[in-house]
Amino acid sequence: MSRKNTKNAATVAVSTGSGVRKNGYSRRHSPVLFIFMLVLALYSIIPLLWLVLNATKSQGDILSTFGLGFGHKLNIVENLKATFTYEDGSFLRWLGNTVMYVVIGAGGATLLAALAGYGMAMFDFAGKQIVMAIIIGAIAIPGNALVVPTFLLFAKLGLTNTPLAVILPSLISPFGFYLVISYVQSGVPREVVESARVDGAGEVRIFFQIVLPLLMPCIVTVLLFAIVSTWNNYFLPLIMLNDPKWYPLTVGLAEWNAQATGSATPKPIYNLVIMGALVTVIPIIIIFLMLQRYWESGLSAGSVKQ
């Protein structure tokens, strides 16, 4: 217990005054390190650069000009317009669906994980160990393995091809559950909760007004990773949904891409696929960059070694 506290103290120190720590030591810069990181950075960035460049091209240019250069003309406005208006604006609909799945799925997952994690960490009750054991035992079976069985069950229940089929499985975030437990254990002093109780505050009020603010970095981290996994989800909606009107962006884009091939009147729309892909990526990157401070400290707190 005490060992852990010193570590947390260290975390806090680092995250508040980063850079101070190593000032005392070597200031020499290593070219080897720099080159290594540069190569890795290029590897990470080139495909994204390709995406941005090709989103500006017409289909003809995408198929005939050098991938990491510009096309003969800037087609970016046309592509953007075409992406959002193709087939009566399916893309906008998919964007809306994705946002809905993210808000309800990721938002709900975060709330449920926060409530349950807090309940597990702060209260002692009979059956706690068995609940924990069941949850752990079951979540050792990863999400993707459950997609087909979940589909079979939901088909039986008549839930397939409804938004619920995508939302329900997204509501469980084992990672979030774990992160909240460990954060509550180290970051929410029991005394604070106890004294609020003495003052006569109800449990619900204590949770929302006292605990939740304390949990903020952790909540943001859980939320972000739930957002990413919901936003990027492909297997689950692919198998659950038939009607394009419920598709998220991922499934819609994959279908657009596939329509270039096949024995039934191929209709390539690569310029829309690529522009659509870019539009899909941008919001997530923005969210990550904006909330960087939160999730980085949330992550380090969560992964404190026991």
Partner 1 sequence: MDANTSVVQSSRKFGKSSRSKNIQKAHKHRRNGLIGWAFITPFLIFFVIAIIMPIIYALYLSVFTDKLIGGRVFTGLSNYVAILTNGLFWDGLWRVIRVFLIQVPIMLGLALLAALAIDSARLVGRSAFRILLFLPYAVPGVVAVLIWEFLYGNQFGLTANINTLFGLSLQPLSKNMILWSIGNIMTWSFTGYNMLILYSGLKTIPTELYEAARLDGASEWQVAWHIKVPAIKGQLLISFMFSIIGTFQLFSEPQLLQTPAPNAISSSYTPNLWAYNLSLNGSQYNLAAALAIIMGLITGVLAFVTQNHGSKNID
Partner 2 sequence: MKRTKVVRFVAGVAAIAMAAAGLAGCGGSSNSASGSNGGKEGDLDAALQKGGTITYWTWTDSAKAQAAAFEKKYPKVHIKVVNPGTGMTVYTKLQNVLKASSGIPDISQIEYQAIPQFSVPGNLLDLSQYGFAKYKNQFVKSAWEGVTSGSSIYGLPQDTGPMVMFYNKQVFDAAGITNPPKTWDEYMQDAKILHEKDSSVYITNDSGQGNFITSMLWQAGSHAYKVNGTNVEINLNDPGAMRWAKNWDYLFKNHYISSLTNQGTEWYQAANKGKIASVVSGSWMAGAFKSSVKETTGQWRVAPMPSYDGKPASANYGGSSEVVLKKSANPALAAAFLRWLNTSQESIDLFKQSGGYVSTKKELSSEEFLNEKSDYFGGQQINKVFLESGKDVVSGWQFLPYQAYANSITMDTVGKAYQGQTTFEKALKEYQKALVTYGNQQGYKVTGK
Within a 13 Å sphere around the CA of 55, how many CA atoms are in the beta-carbon half? 19
> Structure tokens of 245?
């009107």
Among the listed ranges 2-10, 14-22, 93-101, 238-246, the one in contact with partner 2 (CB under 8 A) is 238-246
Contacts of 226 (CB under 8 A, 6+ apart): 105, 106, 107, 109, 110, 170, 173, 176
Nearest to 186, CA basis, from 287, 282, 305, 285: 305
Nearer to partner 1, 54 or 82 (CB): 54
A 10 A CB-CB count for 74 gives 13
Which residue in the set 89, 189, 254, 266 belongs to the binding site for partner 1 (CB under 8 A)?
254
Distance (Å, whole) CA 88 – CA 53: 26
- Name the one residue in this structure whose structure tokens are 């926060």: 114
Among the listed ranges 74-82, 258-266, 278-286, 296-304, the one in contact with partner 2 (CB under 8 A) is 258-266
To partner 2, the closest distance from the beta carbon of 260 in angstroms equals: 6
Which residue in the set 14, 270, 283, 284 belongs to the binding site for partner 2 (CB under 8 A)?
270
Among the listed ranges 79-87, 88-96, 212-220, 254-262, the one in contact with partner 1 (CB under 8 A) is 254-262
Which residue in the set 111, 244, 281, 283 belongs to the binding site for partner 2 (CB under 8 A)?
244
Which residue in the set 80, 99, 100, 121 belongs to the binding site for partner 1 (CB under 8 A)?
121
A 10 A CB-CB count for 239 gives 19
Distance (Å, whole) CA 187 – CA 240: 39
Window 24 to 53, contacts with partner 2 (CB under 8 A)? none
To partner 2, the closest distance from the beta carbon of 248 in angstroms equals: 15
Contact call for residue 56 and partner 1 (CB under 8 A): no
Which residue in the set 116, 193, 219, 272 belongs to the binding site for partner 1 (CB under 8 A)?
116
Distance (Å, whole) CA 105 – CA 166: 8
Contact call for residue 183 and partner 1 (CB under 8 A): no
Contact call for residue 272 and partner 1 (CB under 8 A): no
Nearer to partner 1, 78 or 296 (CB): 296
> Structure tokens of 28?
């020499």
Nearest to 176, CA basis, from 121, 122, 243, 221: 221
Window 104 to 133, contacts with partner 2 (CB under 8 A)? 126-127, 130-131
> Structure tokens of 182?
């460990």
- Report the interface residues with partner 2, using CB under 8 A: 59-60, 63-64, 87, 126-127, 130-131, 134, 152-158, 160-161, 239, 242-245, 255, 258-268, 270
